[in-house]
């Protein structure tokens, strides 16, 4: 176990650059699919769920696309907006019912620019201008940009069970596990996978982190997440090929103390299986107490995560197999 921990820390020291939040925009790289989560603060209760943003066209700093809030009732907005030199994003849109959406935020690239994160505040109004909803959206951009469904260089699917450890700088860390599914472009039919299907750069799944010290409670809890993520095509290096990976993770079960809304960003690299071990994902995690805190860090570049550090997980059989 100690050997595994040392290996995780050694591997992730080389990935520190991937975990830094960097104010670079590169508008011509904005086109493509963003997957993530939305927090709707419409009363009587806060709701959280998946969201999709397809940036379909861009010309200079201007873009158009579709922003879909998948919390029922599903809202599909046709939007237009602009992106600034430092990554500021603003825009508006309308759906078939005449409701309007206005959004403002920032997009950043992590470290070397391999993973792009988008964080927005939004306001939804009725056709007569009355506020109907407001909240936050946090997303990660799928690798390969506009070609995310049919990447020219095949990505390595991350489907399967992953298990390992995360570390904390000032106290012991804990376990981290994920069950992931790589998304197919052609979908499935009753007989199985369509002949035209290929792996996209998108994956989804569920995961958990154990022994998390939750703010305001002075207690340690196991936190369970829904996951939306992306993995790129392998990049040749002097060593084995590596692939950039990023994910947004949203707490999906209340803690025993009633806490909800914890959200995480994972940034790392997929390392291939070798003779001495299975495939590994190594990187850095950032845990946030709320959507508000994550969006605030992205917009202001002021640290807001309540925990962060290295993690390493290995591909292997699911528990009980």
Of 41-45, 101-105, 248-252, give the lowest mean pLDDT range: 41-45
Mean pLDDT, the chain, integer: 86
Position 307 pLDDT exceeds 50: yes
Residues present in the chain in total: 321
* CATH fit for domain 27-141, picks 3.40.50.300, 3.40.50.620, 2.40.128.420, 3.40.605.10: 2.40.128.420
167-184 burial code (b ≥16 CB/10 A, e <16):
bbeeeebbebbbbbebbb
Question: pLDDT value at position 275?
Answer: 64
Closest CA to 209 of 106, 72, 70, 306: 306
In Å, how far are 6, 84, 305 from 25, measured between CA atoms? 35, 7, 22
Segment 54-112, tens digit of pLDDT: 999 999 999 999 999 988 889 999 999 999 988 999 999 999 999 999 999 999 998 56
Question: pLDDT value at position 8?
Answer: 36
Mean pLDDT of the 260-288 span: 91
* CATH fit for domain 2-20+150-316, picks 2.40.128.30, 1.10.1370.40, 2.60.40.1180, 2.40.50.140: 2.40.128.30
| Region for residue 43 given its phi and psi (left: phi exceeds 0; alpha: psi -120 to 50; beta: otherwise) | beta
Question: pLDDT value at position 198?
Answer: 86
Q: Rounded CA gap, 319 and 307, in Å?
A: 27
Q: Which two tokens stand for residue 280?
A: 């590994």
Same fold, 2-20+150-316 and 27-141: yes
pLDDT band at 44 (very low <50, low <70, confident <90, very high): confident
Residue boundaries of the structural domains of the chain: 2-20+150-316, 27-141
């Amino acid at each position: 176990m100690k050997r595994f921990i040392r290996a995780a820390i050694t591997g992730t020291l080389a990935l520190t650059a991937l975990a830094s939040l960097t104010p670079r925009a590169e508008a011509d790289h904005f086109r493509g699919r963003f997957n993530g989560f939305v927090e709707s603060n419409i009363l009587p209760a806060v709701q959280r769920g998946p969201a999709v943003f397809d940036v379909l066209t861009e010309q200079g700093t201007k873009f158009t696309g579709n922003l879909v809030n998948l919390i029922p009732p599903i809202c599909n907005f046709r939007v237009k907006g602009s992106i600034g030199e430092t990554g500021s994003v603003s825009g508006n849109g309308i759906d078939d019912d005449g409701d309007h959406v206005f959004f403002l935020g920032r997009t950043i690239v992590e470290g070397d620019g391999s993973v792009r994160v988008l964080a927005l505040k939004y306001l939804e109004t009725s056709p007569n201008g009355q506020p109907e909803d407001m909240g936050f959206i946090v997303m990660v951009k799928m690798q390969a940009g506009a070609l995310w469904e049919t990447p020219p260089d095949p990505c390595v699917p991350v489907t399967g069970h992953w298990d390992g450890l995360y570390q904390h700088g000032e106290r012991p860390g804990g376990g981290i596990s994920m069950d992931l599914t790589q998304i197919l472009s052609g979908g499935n039919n009753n007989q199985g996978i369509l002949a035209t299907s290929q792996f996209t750069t998108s994956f989804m799944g569920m995961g958990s982190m154990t022994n998390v010290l939750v703010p305001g409670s002075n207690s340690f809890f196991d936190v369970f997440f829904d996951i939306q993520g992306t993995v790129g095509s392998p990049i040749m290096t002097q060593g084995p090929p590596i692939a950039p990976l990023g994910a947004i993770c949203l707490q999906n079960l209340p803690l025993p103390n009633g806490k909800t809304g914890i959200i995480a960003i994972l940034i790392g690299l997929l390392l291939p299986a070798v003779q001495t071990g299975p495939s590994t994902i190594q990187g850095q995690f950032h845990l946030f107490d709320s959507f508000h805190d994550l969006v605030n860090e992205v917009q202001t570049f002021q640290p807001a995560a309540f925990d962060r550090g290295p993690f390493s997980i290995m591909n292997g059989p699911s528990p009980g197999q």
